[in-house]
Amino acid sequence: MVPPAMKNEKLCLAFLYGILLLFFLIVSFLSEGTAGGGDDISHYFIARGAYKYPYLFLDLWGKPVFTFFTAPFAQLGIHGMQAFNIITGLLTSYFIFRTARFLDYPNAWIIILFTCLAPMYMNMMNTGMTEILFSFFLVIAAFLSLNEKYVAAALVISFLPFVRNEGLIIIPVYLVAFSLYRKWKALPFLFAGIIFYSILGYFYHKDILWIIHKWPYGNTSVIYGTGNIFFYIRMSYRILGVPLIVLFLTGLLVYLYRLIKDWSWKPSSQLTGFLLILGPLFVYVAGHSYAFWKGTVGSGGLIRFMAAVIPLVALYCLIGFNFIDQYLLKMKWIKIVVYTILFLSIVYIPFNYYKFPYRLNSEQVVVKEASQWLKENALDKGKIYYVDPHIPFFLKADYYNRSLTQQFLPDPENPDKQIPSGSFIAWDAHYMANEGGVKLENLSENESFQLITKFKPEKDFKTLGGYSYAVYIFRKN
């Protein structure tokens, strides 16, 4: 027989998750765009096309594990991808709640709100991006480890690099932890994912080292620039919001104090939490900080990357909350006032920083207008070359049907080469000028091309690389 208190808790959790699910689904279906931008659309194309073009299940930029899980949802359209992330984000918050319960932390249910209402996590749940699934894998692996299911945890972590590439720097954390715990049987399973995909990809690429040779990232400082090594710390107010920052710092200090005070190398939930919750959190943030500082491995200083570790942060927010609740707020009326302000702030802050439901940003408004022109005047009349992935999305074209459209020019330095006469080129100041490597003058000063029309925003603004944003439509004579 289930105790009444347990029944009430389950009902409360079901009600809370019902409200959150309904809210996120409404936001998704009322949104015109997504918070993930062009990368979001590219992931959608890969996942949607994977059944028709199976080699996409091995696309390292698209992330094979992410593509595997999202492909069924992508068949329902971009909202299907968003629904996957909403469900995954809610499941992640549930398992970090279960983790807090396992560790006997009071008020564990609050961690659900700390996770789902953290500004950047809330923002990314309505996208088709990889950060949410990455956070799920991190939380599941920590939860399994705490429950002494080390082999299962190792298997989960082994596939993490194929959810997001940062998984490669998380594997050594688990390698050290399992070695300290002398869980020798689990160690080989940390490499199961890499071995699995190396063998699977061999049959397509005929190269057992294809993961290394097909690695999609390198030095990107020329395109995305570099930044301060403390950039992500400085931007934490947009990632967490000030209330959660205060709770996190409080919780982290309290946790470290207790850990040092009762330090022991013997296996314990306290030590496991230090190694497999704080460890991945620190390594992930430090890795991204270094990458942006050096301008390497595709880092562009995007703060959305930090959504991947927010559920781990939420655990320390809970510790901070409980410490303040137990030691600093003695009078009941003060607690009521402080908690009211805290929760109203946590609910308000995401809406202050990000717009829900999502509207098309200034670039997307222009490129949608240009795509509509292409659909009416160019589609089926000549091949369309572009770089911005929004163009085939707005055209509703098959991204992988190269007879109609093609992303990137065959020769950016000499754009007239290998392009059939009558083809159209949609040059945009963001993607084609940067990722595509095609300067506007390479087309405008080339006698092989004729400027047909151009699209500019109502109010001029600068985009990546310092260009004034616009879309120019050229046709090859």
Q: Please report, for the chain, the start and end positions of each structural domain, with discontinuous segments joined by +.
A: 11-353, 362-476
Is the separation of the CB atoms in 246 and 313 below 8 Å? no
Amino acid symbol at 445: E
240 Cβ contact partners less than 8 Å away, ≥ 6 residues apart: 118, 119, 120, 248, 310, 313
The residue type at 75:
Q
Q: Cβ neighbours of residue 116 under 8 Å, at least 6 residues apart?
A: 20, 89, 90, 93, 122, 125
HSE of 345, CA atoms in CB hemisphere, 13 A: 15
Q: Is 295 left (phi over 0), alpha (psi -120 to 50) or beta?
A: left
Euclidean distance between CA atoms 349 and 46, whole angstroms: 33
CA proximity to 104, closest of 319, 252, 276: 319
Provide the CA 138 distance to its chain's centre, in angstroms: 13
Q: How would you write the pLDDT of the chain (477 residues) with one tens digit per residue?
A: 445 555 677 888 999 999 999 999 999 999 888 888 888 999 999 999 999 999 999 999 999 999 999 999 999 999 999 999 999 999 999 999 999 999 999 999 999 999 999 999 999 999 999 999 999 999 999 999 999 999 999 999 999 999 999 999 999 999 999 998 889 999 999 999 999 999 999 999 999 999 999 888 765 555 566 778 889 999 999 999 999 999 999 999 999 998 888 777 676 777 788 889 999 999 999 999 988 888 776 666 789 999 999 999 999 999 999 999 887 777 777 888 888 888 999 999 999 998 888 888 889 999 999 999 999 988 778 899 999 999 999 998 888 888 888 999 988 888 888 888 899 999 999 999 988 888 898 898 888 899 999 999 989 898 887 889 999 999 988
User: Rounded to an integer, what distance in angstroms lies between the CA atom of residue 466 and that of residue 293?
Assistant: 20
77-114: buried (b, 16+ CB within 10 Å) or exposed (e) per residue?
ebbbbbbbbbbbbbebbbbbbbbbeebebeebebbbbb
Strand partners, 473: 426, 453
- The closest alpha carbon to 277, from 252, 306, 240, belongs to 252
**Dist. CA 170–CA 161, nearest whole Å:** 9
Q: What is the pTM of this model?
A: 0.91
Inter-CA distances, 395 with 343, 372, 388, Å: 43, 7, 12
Say if residues 380 and 28 touch (Cβ distance below 8 Å): no
User: Which amino acid would we find at residue 170?
Assistant: I
**Which amino acid type is present at position 84?**
F
Amino acid, single-letter form, for residue 308:
A
Cα 377 from Cα 382, distance rounded (Å): 10
Tokens of 25: 């689904």
Task: Report whether 74 contacts 60 (CB < 8 A).
Answer: no
Instruction: Tell me how far the alpha carbon of residue 467 is from its chain's centroid.
Output: 26
Q: Which of 309, 326, 367, 344 is nearest to 134 (CA)?
A: 309
User: CA-CA distance, 109 to 17, in Å (whole number)?
Assistant: 11
Please give the pLDDT value at position 7.
Answer: 64
* CA–CA–CA angle 231, 244, 291 (5° rounding): 20
Give the other-Cβ count within 10 Å of 334's Cβ: 11
CB burial of residue 465 (10 Å; 0-12, 13-18, 19+): middle
Residue identified by tokens 């809210």 is: 23
Q: Kindly list the distances between the CA atom of residue 25 and the CA atoms of 125, 127, 208, 403, in Å, as whole numbers in the listed order.
A: 10, 11, 42, 36
Per-residue burial over 385-395, b = 16 or more CB atoms within 10 Å of its CB, e = otherwise: bbbbbbbbbbb
Nearest to 405 by CA among 414, 395, 416, 415: 395
pLDDT at 1: 43
Give the pLDDT of residue 464: 81
Q: Which of 178, 145, 141 is nearest to 160 (CA)?
A: 141
pLDDT of residue 336: 84
Q: HSE-up of 349 (CA within 13 Å, CB side)?
A: 25
Structure tokens at 235: 């931007």
Q: Is the dihedral of CA 162, 163, 168, 172 positive or negative?
A: negative
DSSP 296: B
